[in-house]
């Protein structure tokens, strides 16, 4: 039996999915759609899709699975447009950065008998430091050895979850199941906070006194530190933050706390405290990168050892890890 997968939004994620599924023609029919005709045609020329459609209803017709690979600010309108043409039992999987809001829109606009799943993607650890975005950065191995979270409403049937798990396996990834709020929290920490830090860095430097000269010397550290805002449109980032003010406030509070204590260490000339905080950051980055490249996660053990809120505050205020308790 052939499953039709329709991908809406043919940027890096959408086109990479099409490329990765190309080796399974006996199992999957790949249909692509993008509002930009030149992007759509390029995806087809790359061999990412068996067909591309020039209007949304035609792209949805007959689809068993619809993958939304679009910014959050386009999700509600897209759900309204595809709702009349979604077949019964179709599964809509969404890659946008806020699952609770996307699920709310889905329930408002899509008839009963169709199913929503939120996907929280990671990419191949070998590609973490490769630049690029959009269709030009699409690769068939984008999800190899990557973890993809599946956030499902409580009433989601097992068949829909199994279908999502099978698709992610075909992409080369592994799945972890999340609840909706957990998924939003992970996206805030791992995806949105880096973008907010980039915004803060740009606001604090560009146009400020001295920038006219400093801009000539802004190099790799500046580019890498600000590149994360290319991951979402301005409107998508704005909506995501305003739709989750509690999560955004918490993430910003933690970041401001860490910056405040760094500033105090420098201001007071506290060499020991400053070195402790810098060492913690260097060590933690190396440890995390090694874990990501190995992609060997023991989720059960990690959950048992998950840091408590007090431990997180200790890192910020004291600049040190909590001691192991016997």
Residue 299 confidence (pLDDT): 56
Q: Which residues pair with 174 in a beta bridge?
A: 147
Structure tokens at 313: 């505050």
Looking only at the bridges linking them, the beta strands covering 147-151 and 115-120 are antiparallel
Domains and CATH numbers, the chain: 3-178 (3.40.50.720), 183-318 (1.10.3660.10)
Residue 311 confidence (pLDDT): 54
**Chain mean position to CA 21:** 20
**Residue numbers of the chain with a pLDDT score lower than 70:** 298-326
Dist CA 20 CA 124 (whole Å)? 12
Sheet holding 51-52, edge to edge: 51-52, 28-33, 3-8, 65-68, 91-94, 115-120, 147-151, 174-178
Residue 127 confidence (pLDDT): 87
- Radius of gyration from C-alpha coordinates of the chain: 22
Strand (E) or helix (H) holding 268: none
**DSSP 8-state assignment for residue 120:** E
Dist CA 20 CA 145 (whole Å)? 13
Q: What is the pLDDT of residues 268-312, one digit of tens each?
A: 999 999 999 999 999 999 999 999 988 887 655 444 444 454 554
Residue 304 confidence (pLDDT): 44
| Closest to 234 in 3D by CA, of 208, 200, 206, 195 | 195
Q: How many angstroms separate the Cα of 60 from the Cα of each of 13, 148, 176?
A: 19, 24, 27
Q: What is the DSSP string of 70-93?
A: S-GGGHHHHHHHHGGGPPTT-EEE
Strand (E) or helix (H) holding 217: none
Q: Which residue has the tokens 């399974």?
A: 24
Dist CA 93 CA 84 (whole Å)? 17
């Amino acid at each position: 039996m052939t499953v039709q997968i329709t991908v809406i939004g043919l940027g890096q994620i959408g086109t990479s999915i099409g490329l990765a599924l190309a080796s399974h023609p006996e199992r999957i029919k790949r249909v692509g759609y993008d509002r930009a005709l030149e992007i759509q045609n390029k995806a087809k020329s790359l061999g990412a899709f068996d067909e591309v459609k020039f209007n949304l209803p035609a792209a949805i017709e007959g689809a068993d699975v619809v993958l939304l690979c679009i910014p959050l600010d386009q999700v509600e309108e897209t759900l309204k447009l595809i709702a009349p043409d979604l077949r019964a039992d179709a599964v809509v999987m969404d890659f946008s950065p806020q699952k609770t809001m996307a699920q709310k829109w889905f329930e408002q606009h899509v008839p009963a008998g169709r199913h929503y799943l939120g996907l929280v993607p990671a990419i191949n650890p070998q590609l973490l430091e490769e630049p690029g975005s959009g269709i030009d950065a699409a690769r068939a191995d984008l999800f190899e050895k990557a973890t993809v979270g599946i956030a499902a409403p409580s009433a989601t049937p097992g068949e829909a979850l199994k279908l999502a798990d099978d698709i992610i396996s075909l992409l080369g990834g592994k799945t972890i199941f999340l609840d909706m709020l957990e998924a939003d929290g992970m996206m805030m920490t791992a995806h949105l906070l880096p973008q907010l830090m980039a915004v803060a860095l740009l606001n604090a430097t560009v146009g400020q006194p001295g920038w006219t000269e400093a801009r000539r010397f802004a190099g790799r550290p500046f580019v890498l530190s600000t590149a994360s805002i290319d991951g979402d449109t301005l409107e998508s980032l704005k909506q995501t933050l305003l739709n989750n003010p509690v999560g955004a406030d918490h993430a910003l509070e933690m970041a401001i706390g860490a910056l405040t204590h760094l500033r105090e260490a420098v201001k007071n000339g506290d060499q020991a405290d400053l070195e402790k905080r810098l060492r913690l950051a260097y060590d933690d980055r190396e440890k995390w990168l090694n874990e990501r490249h190995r992609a060997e996660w023991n989720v059960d053990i990690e959950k048992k050892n998950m840091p408590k809120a007090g431990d997180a505050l200790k890192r910020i205020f004291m600049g040190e890890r909590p001691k192991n308790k016997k």
